Amino acid sequence: MKLKVCGMREPTNIVAVAALQPDYLGFIFYDRSKRYVPAETLLPHVSASIQKVGVFVNASFQQIIDRIEKFQLEVVQLHGEEPPALCAQLQAAGLTVVKVFGIGNTFDFKVLSAYEKVVDFFLFDTKGEERGGNGQSFNWELLRTYPSKVPLWLSGGISLGNIEHLLELIERLQLPVHAIDVNSRFEVMAGLKDVQKIKKLKTVIDLKKS
């Protein structure tokens, strides 16, 4: 089980979180987000063992590539209505592609079929007013009918209070979950993570691995 900490922005906070060795750090390049990373931002160096994820919403191929090159990103997370053709184009450019789908009270898993051959992972988040970072969980029991073999990332309101329940559910349903993605429930304020909370979370996940 991998860990992604998303919505990173502040240099000293990035260094502190990176010292905990999460598997992924996420940076949001959507200008309507409270955690938006402007193009002129200077990000600190982090260990090569941590993959940097760029989060985009309906950006063009060239806009994504520009950020990839500037910030040395390895993974692209698509949080909008991006078509399968764009996913395929990004994969062909050598990038790992994560396609996000928001889940409400119900979800039609049939929409995944067009993307299965052009993405590396699906990410399920809670459908809300914002494109992520809403701090609310969706009904994880809906995942019992997940029909695909594409590995999953799970996000949406994950916290220290519910992580053990989520990990038990993943094990019980034998879901192909690759990573847990956390954001707002581990913040002091938007874009600034609570390092001690993330440290506790990583301990829980590492114990489950063992």
In this predicted model, what pLDDT tens digit does every residue of 24-81 receive, in sequence order? 999 999 999 999 999 999 999 999 999 999 999 999 999 999 999 999 999 999 999 9
pLDDT of amino acid 79: 96
% the chain with pLDDT above 70: 96
Would you call 25 exposed, middle or buried from its count of C-beta atoms within 10 A (0-12, 13-18, 19+)? buried
pLDDT of amino acid 209: 76
- 210 pLDDT above the threshold of 80: no
Mean local confidence (pLDDT), 105-125:
97
Confidence label for 130 from pLDDT (cuts 50, 70 and 90): low
- 86 pLDDT above the threshold of 70: yes
Beta bridge partners of 100: 123
What CATH architecture is 2-209?
Alpha-Beta Barrel (3.20)
pLDDT one-digit tens code per residue, 6-27: 999 999 999 999 999 999 999 9
C-alpha torsion angle, residues 6, 9, 10, 16 (rounded to 10)? 30
Confidence label for 134 from pLDDT (cuts 50, 70 and 90): low
Average pLDDT, the chain: 95
- 136 pLDDT above the threshold of 90: no
For 145-182, the three-class secondary structure string (H helix, E strand, C coil) is: HCCCCCCEEECCCCCCCCHHHHHHHHHHHCCCEEEEEE
Beta bridge partners of 164: none
Confidence label for 175 from pLDDT (cuts 50, 70 and 90): very high
Instruction: Delimit the domains of the chain by residue range.
Output: 2-209
